Structures are given as structure tokens and as C-alpha cells.
Amino acid sequence: MVRTNRGAIWAAIIALFLGFAAVTQVHSQEVYSRSLNLETPSSLTTLIANLSETNNELRNEIFDLRRDVSDARDSVANGKGTLTEAQRQLLRLRVFSAQSAVFGPGISIKVDGAFDERALSDLVNELRNAGAEAIAVNDVRVGPKSYFTGTADHLIAVDGRPLRGPWTVRAIGSPDVVYVAMTRTGGIIGQFELIYRSTHFAVTKETALDLPAQVAAAR
């Protein structure tokens, strides 16, 4: 039973990651397409190079995850694996699916000024592409099925919960890796600065972030 559970846990984790790899690759391109007509030839060259690099990273990630699937299946078939390993993978899955609160280092991005739900969705997807393990907007945890909508009074709602700006997006992950991914030349923050010229974006590394678990979506 333990070995079977371990295989099921691995399968669930890999399915979630592969799903995100496919979806976020599409969504992360949307913000770039909105700003292409604002670019100079030199910055377009940089942007193309960055997009190519992102695509290569996603392909490598998918390859690694598929290899993990194979390893997990072999482990189950050979009778390997322990309860401790299964519990560790279950904990990882709960964090990834936003069912558990999580504490760790990462980055925070403060958005002060005009912004919209589509841009926020782009930002969250780009953070996932960069390796963020857990994300929250203000005090609302973002999960795999979270959705972003605008409201009549120009707020942004996350899972039906209206949030007033300025918005702070907190992401747990490697601070150095995620920070560079967000702030590199031609990256998403640079694109936002072209689109939302009066909006201020502040990206900072954090040694300790405490993100809550996701609560049931508002109806």
C-alpha cells in the first residue's frame, strides 16, 4: 500500500507540473505580444533571445519531469521506496497545490499604480516559469486553479476576492534565480514598465516569507 501510494503521489505531482509547463508557456507570451509595438529593434532582439531561453528551460524541465515519472514507476515496480519518501512527496504536492501554508525565502513584487487582471495573471505565470514553489497576492494564496478577474470599481479579484492596490505578489523559491528572471533585460517587469508607464514596480529579495494556505474560492 505504501509503495502504491508513493507511485500515485508521484503521478499527481508530475501531472500538475507538466500541466503548468504547457499552460504557462502559452500565458507567459501574452504580455510580450502586448508590448511588441513599443519595442526598438535592439530590444526586440533581446526579447527573442529571452523567449528562446525560456522555451529551452521549459523543454528541459519537461524532460526532467518525464524522467522522474520513469524513475518513480521503476521504484514502484521494484518494490523500493519508504513511507518517509511518500510523506515527503505528499507534503510537496500539498504545497504545490496551495493546500498547505509554506515558509521560506523568495521575492516580493510591489505593484503601485494602474494594473489589470490579465497582467496579474501574466505575472503569476511568469513566476511559476521561473521556479516559484508558492505564490500569494496580498494575503490571498494562489493555487493551480486560481483565476483573476476585474471588478466594477477597478479592483483585481483573485478567486472572487477583490484586492485593492497597491498589490504585493510574494513568491517562495530561490531568491537569486527568481529575482533575475523577473528583472532581466527584456523580462516581464521591463515589459510591464513599457505598458504601464505610470506604475511603479519594486522587486526585492526576501529571506523569509510566510504564505497562507488557499481558502475556498468566493462565490
Mark which of 35, 66, 96 sits at the end of a domain.
96
- CA-nearest of 87, 96, 89, 39 to 68 is 89
Strands (E) located in 25-137:
102-112, 134-137
- CA-nearest of 112, 94, 72 to 213 is 94
Spatial distance between the Cα atoms of 156 and 190, rounded to a whole number of angstroms: 21
Spatial distance between the Cα atoms of 18 and 29, rounded to a whole number of angstroms: 18
> Domain tally for the chain?
2
Per-residue pLDDT band at 145 (split at 50, 70, 90):
confident
Please provide residue 176's backbone torsions phi and psi, each rounded to the nearest 5 degrees: -65, -45
Spatial distance between the Cα atoms of 65 and 140, rounded to a whole number of angstroms: 28
pLDDT in tens, 150-170: 987 889 999 999 999 999 999
pTM: 0.64
Residues 141 and 203 in one domain: yes
Find all residues with CB under 8 Å of 138, minimum gap 6, and list them. 163, 167, 168
Residues 166 and 139 in one domain: yes
Mean of per-residue pLDDT scores for the chain: 76
Residues 131 and 36 in one domain: no
Looking at residue 142, the DSSP 8-state letter turns out to be: E
Hunting for cell 501531472 — which residue is that? Answer: 15
Spatial distance between the Cα atoms of 101 and 112, rounded to a whole number of angstroms: 26
Find all residues with CB under 8 Å of 139, minimum gap 6, and list them. 212
User: Helix (H, G, I), strand (E, B), or coil: what is residue 71?
Assistant: helix
Bridge partners (DSSP) listed for residue 150: 156
- Grid coordinates representing 133 are 514553489
Residues 137 and 174 in one domain: yes
* Strand (E) or helix (H) holding 34: helix 2-35
Residue 76's domain comprises 2-96
Residues 69 and 13 in one domain: yes
Residues 148 and 184 in one domain: yes
Mark which of 59, 75, 96 sits at the end of a domain.
96
Mark which of 64, 96, 128 sits at the end of a domain.
96
8 close to 14: Cβ distance less than 8 angstroms: no
Looking at residue 212, the DSSP 8-state letter turns out to be: P
Residues 52 and 29 in one domain: yes
Residues 25 and 87 in one domain: yes
Residues 192 and 143 in one domain: yes
95 close to 134: Cβ distance less than 8 angstroms: yes
pLDDT in tens, 22-75: 444 444 455 555 555 555 565 556 555 665 666 566 566 666 666 666 666 566
Per-residue pLDDT band at 177 (split at 50, 70, 90):
very high
